[in-house]
Amino acid sequence: MVKNILGVDSITKENETSDDKSNNTQKDETKEPESKDKPIYVKVSDETRGLIDKYKEHGTTISDLIKNAIKCYDDFNLISPEIHAIIDKYIEEDESNISFIERAVKYYGEQKNLDRDLWVRARDEMKMMLIGKTTFNQLIAAAEAPKESLTKPWSKNVAIDIILWYTGKPLKNLTIEEILQTIQKMWVVANYFYTIDVKKEEADEYHLLFRHRQNKRYSAYWLGYFTGLFHSEEMSFKCAVEGHTFDETLSMIVKVGYEK
C-alpha cells in the first residue's frame, strides 16, 4: 500500500511538473513584444511645468508635447547657416526666436504691400504704364525708323508670353475665352487701357471694346498688335479679325474659325 501511494504520488508530481512547464511555455509564446518607446524621466522648471499643464488642458499628452517640441527644435536648426547669421545679426537683445520670426514675417508682408500699393498709386496718380523690355526696345527702334514705327512692334510683341505667364497653361490648351479674359485683365493692370469690355455676340464671335485716353494713332497701334496676336501661327485656332480705330476707343471683332 505504501508503495502504491508513493507511486501515485510520484506520478502526480511528475504530471504537475509537466503541466507547469507547458503553462510556462504557452505564456512565453503568447508574451507580447516589448514596446520600443522608452520612458524618460527629467526634472523641469516651474515654467516648463506650467506650459505642460497649459496644453494638457487642451487634450495634448506629454508624449506629444515632447515629440512636437523636439521636431520644432530640429526644424529650426535645419535653417541654413546664412539665415542663422542674419538672425544673429538683427535679433534684438533678450528677444526670443519666435518673436524675431514674427517681426520678420510682418515686415516682409508690409514691404510686399508697400510695393503693390506703390504700383497702384503710380498707375492711378502718375498714369504710368507697365511696359515689357521687348516692347520698350521696339518703341526705341520705332523712333529711329518712323516709317516702320507701327509695323515693327506689331510683328515683335510679347502678347503670347504674357498670356502663358498669366494662365500657366500651354498655348494649345487655352480656349479663346481664356485668352480674351487674360487680355481683359493684364492690359488693364498694365494701364494700357482703363477698361476692356468683352462680349460674346455669337457662338464663335466676340466683340472687344478697348477704352484709353490717348489718340487714334494709339488705337491703330493696338489694333495691329492684337491682330498680329490672333493671326499668329502659334495660336491653336484660326481667327478672323475686324477692327475700327477712334481717338479714345478701339473696337475689335474676333471670329474664331477652326482648330489647326
Counts of helices then strands in the chain (DSSP H, E): 10, 4
State pTM to two decimals: 0.52
Domain extents for the chain? 133-259
Please answer whether residues 212 and 226 qualify as being in contact, where contact means their C-beta atoms are separated by less than 8 angstroms.
Answer: no
Name the helix (H) or strand (E) containing 253: strand 249-259
Q: Band of the pLDDT at 4, cuts 50, 70, 90?
A: very low
Please answer whether residues 188 and 195 qualify as being in contact, where contact means their C-beta atoms are separated by less than 8 angstroms.
Answer: yes
Residue 260: partners with Cβ closer than 8 Å, 6 or more residues away:
235, 236, 237, 238
What's the pLDDT score for residue 101?
A: 86
pLDDT one-digit tens code per residue, 16-67 = 555 555 555 555 555 555 656 677 777 878 888 887 788 877 777 878 888 8
What's the pLDDT score for residue 240?
A: 94
Please answer whether residues 51 and 68 qualify as being in contact, where contact means their C-beta atoms are separated by less than 8 angstroms.
Answer: no
* 165, pLDDT greater than 70: yes
Mean pLDDT (whole number) for 223-236: 91
pLDDT one-digit tens code per residue, 172-208 = 899 999 999 999 999 998 889 999 999 999 989 999 9
* 117, pLDDT greater than 70: yes
Please provide the average confidence, as pLDDT, over all residues in the chain.
79
> Which of 150-159, 160-169, 234-243 shows the lowest mean pLDDT across its residues?
150-159
Mean pLDDT (whole number) for 119-136: 74
CA 32 to chain centre: 48
What spatial distance separates the first Cα and last Cα of the chain, rounded to whole Å?
114
**Cell numbers linked to 240:** 478672323
- Of the chain, the percentage scoring pLDDT greater than 90 comes to 26
* 6, pLDDT greater than 50: no
What's the pLDDT score for residue 2?
A: 43
Residues 115 and 6: their CA atoms lie apart, in Å, by 104
What's the pLDDT score for residue 50?
A: 83
Q: Which residue has the higher pLDDT, 99 or 252?
A: 252
Domain 133-259 matching CATH 3.90.1520.10: the answer reads: yes
pLDDT one-digit tens code per residue, 67-95 = 888 888 888 788 888 888 888 888 888 88
Output phi, psi for 198, to 5 deg: -125, 120
